[in-house]
Amino acid sequence: MTPAFLYALVGIVLFSIGLYGLILYKHLLRKILAINILGSGVFLVMVALAARTGDAVPDAVPHAMVITGIVVAVSATALALALMLRVDAETGQAVLPEDREE
């Protein structure tokens, strides 16, 4: 097993853990954290699979996509956190409407 595949497998595990948390937990902060873990897994798979070039330089295209993706993920997280704070300010609970408890 090459290191590239090991990293890709770790990425898949991170993705699955993130999806588990996203589905299971109701609190929006947990969901946002879960999405970030899930996204990190995807990035790790992309970067790892780009390294299957033997001794040559790894494929730069997935690397560039991941850099772009990281910035987008960070800004999406910031927007999500702002939305969460607003939801909490409006309803007193940082959960989605269907999970709200009266």
Partner 1 sequence: MRKIKLKILEKKPSLFTRLTLGILMFLLAASLAYAVWSLPTQALGLSAEVAKNVEMSGVSNPVTAVLLNYRSYDTLLELGVLLLALFGVWSLGGVSANKSSFVNPILDFLSRFLVPVFILFSGYLLWVGGFAPGGAFQAGAVLAAAGVLLFLNDWQLERKYSGFSLRFVLVLGLVLFVAIGFGFVFLDRVFLEYPPQLAGGLILLIEAAATLSIGISLAALFLGRDPSVKSDSKIDTGVHK
Distance CA 93, CA 22 (A): 17
- Closer CB to partner 1, residue 60 or residue 98? 60
Q: Are the beta carbons of 94 and 29 closer than 8 angstroms?
A: yes
- Where does this chain bind partner 1 (CB under 8 A)? 2, 5, 8-9, 12-13, 15-17, 19-20, 23-27, 29-30, 45, 49-50, 52-54, 56-65, 67-68, 70-72, 74-76, 78-79, 81-86, 88-95, 101
Distance CA 78, CA 19 (A): 20
**Minimum Å distance from CB 85 to partner 1?**
5
**Minimum Å distance from CB 51 to partner 1?**
10
